[in-house]
């Protein structure tokens, strides 16, 4: 069975490079992904993060869609409590009008930032409590029957943009199941609740007008190179980035190192290894074997591959190896 494979890009800003470089890399990678048969290209909303350039997610989605021809482009995801649902509907309605049948809207409820920045976004701690109502409101704006509505999304009404629920906890699984929406689990950085969330989603799923049966997307990190040793070397960038983030010192995507710095304690290393446990790392054969094991274990309907690698050409090659592996497994 053909399992669509997609790409999740955080538009990383590597050490020694600029935000302009990072955004240029995103356009180049999206075109490369399209040529390799990737189904979707998703960008993620993060704020006040020096090493991530995709804060204005809908703007960047428009640029990527304009630079490509067929690949679906979307958010993985937009953090809905940071925004008024009407504004999100107008943004993605505009995108869907400009790029028909190519736009996805993945939504989450996490801040995607620290609390000071959340306040700067006009977000309050109570906002997440209204997430369910916000989801209902957002989806309603995309519907066809808008003639009598007092508030309409223009553009937006009638575009029926596909909405995905993103999550790393049981809450998102329950919500996606209740509303009959597709569900993407953030297993590339928070896999702890994956099995339980997947079981809840599949067991509790209620068919909707847009989706008759569960659709689950598994997120997997890929660090692929010509040898296992080279791939492990590339992976050290994201391992260092995780350590910096967990230490409250997020920065640019570090250069890879032969040996992780001693400042990363054994406890921190264990924490990082757990966070990145849903990964395929190594040579083409190793990556193919590890991807096969993950597909067999979780039986996803789709997969989305992430991979923060410092060197842009090495990153492109890693996603090329991953695409070859996915095609070989079909």
Residues 79 and 217 grouped into a single domain: yes
pLDDT of residue 124: 63
Provide the b/e sequence for 188-222 (b: ≥16 CB within 10 Å).
bbbbebbeebbebbeeebeeeeebeebbbbbbbbb
Mean pLDDT of 15-31: 98
Mean pLDDT of 247-254: 94
Residues 255 and 16 sit within 8 Å (Cβ to Cβ): yes
Residues 322 and 209 grouped into a single domain: no
Residues 46 and 54 sit within 8 Å (Cβ to Cβ): yes
Residues 171 and 228 grouped into a single domain: no
Residues 277 and 316 grouped into a single domain: yes
**pLDDT higher than 90, residue 244:** yes
68-72, 258-262, 296-300: segment of lowest average pLDDT: 258-262
Mean pLDDT of 190-202: 96
pLDDT of residue 173: 97
Q: Which two tokens stand for residue 233?
A: 């070397």
CA 104 – CA 325 distance, rounded (Å): 25
C-alpha dihedral (208, 209, 214, 217), degrees to nearest 10 = -120
**pLDDT higher than 80, residue 112:** no
Q: List, for residues 124-145, the tens digit of each pLDDT value.
A: 655 557 899 999 999 999 998 7
Mean pLDDT of 105-131: 77
Q: Determine the structural domain holding residue 288 and report its residue range.
A: 223-294+312-330
pLDDT of residue 182: 98
Residues 37 and 168 grouped into a single domain: yes
CATH of the domain at 174: 3.20.20.30
Split into its structural domains, the chain has a count of 2
pLDDT of residue 115: 79
Residues 59 and 70 grouped into a single domain: yes
Q: List, for residues 263-285, the tens digit of each pLDDT value.
A: 899 999 999 999 999 999 999 99
């Amino acid at each position: 069975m053909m399992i669509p494979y997609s790409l999740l890009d955080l538009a990383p800003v590597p050490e020694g490079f600029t935000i302009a470089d990072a955004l240029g890399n995103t356009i180049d990678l999206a075109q490369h992904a399209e040529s390799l048969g990737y189904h979707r290209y998703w960008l993620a909303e993060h704020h006040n993060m020096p090493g991530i350039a995709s804060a204005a997610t809908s703007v960047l989605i428009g640029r990527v869609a304009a630079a490509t021809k067929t690949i679906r482009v979307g958010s993985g995801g937009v953090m809905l409590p940071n925004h008024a649902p009407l504004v999100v509907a107008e943004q993605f309605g505009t995108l869907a009008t400009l790029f028909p049948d190519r736009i996805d809207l993945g939504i989450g409820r996490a801040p995607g930032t620290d609390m000071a920045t959340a306040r700067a976004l006009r977000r309050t701690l109570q906002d997440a409590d209204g997430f369910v109502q916000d989801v209902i409101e957002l989806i309603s704006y995309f519907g066809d029957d808008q003639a009598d509505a007092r508030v309409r999304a223009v553009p937006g009404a009638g575009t029926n943009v596909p909405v995905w629920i993103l999550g790393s906890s049981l809450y998102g699984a329950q919500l996606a199941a209740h509303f009959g929406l597709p569900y993407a689990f953030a297993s590339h950085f928070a896999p702890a609740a994956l099995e339980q969330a997947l079981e809840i989603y599949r067991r509790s799923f209620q068919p909707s007008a847009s989706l008759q049966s569960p659709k689950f997307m598994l997120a997997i990190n890929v660090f692929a190179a010509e040898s296992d040793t080279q791939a492990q070397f590339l992976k050290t960038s994201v391992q260092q980035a995780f350590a910096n983030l967990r230490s409250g010192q997020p920065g640019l995507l570090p250069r890879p190192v032969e040996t992780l710095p001693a400042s990363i304690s054994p406890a921190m290393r264990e924490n990082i290894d757990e966070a990145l446990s849903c990964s395929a790392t190594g040579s083409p054969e190793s990556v193919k074997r590890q991807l096969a094991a993950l597909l067999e274990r979780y039986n996803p309907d789709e997969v989305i591959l992430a991979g923060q690698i410092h060197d842009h050409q090495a990153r492109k090659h890693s996603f090329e190896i991953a695409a070859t592996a996915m095609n070989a497994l079909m």
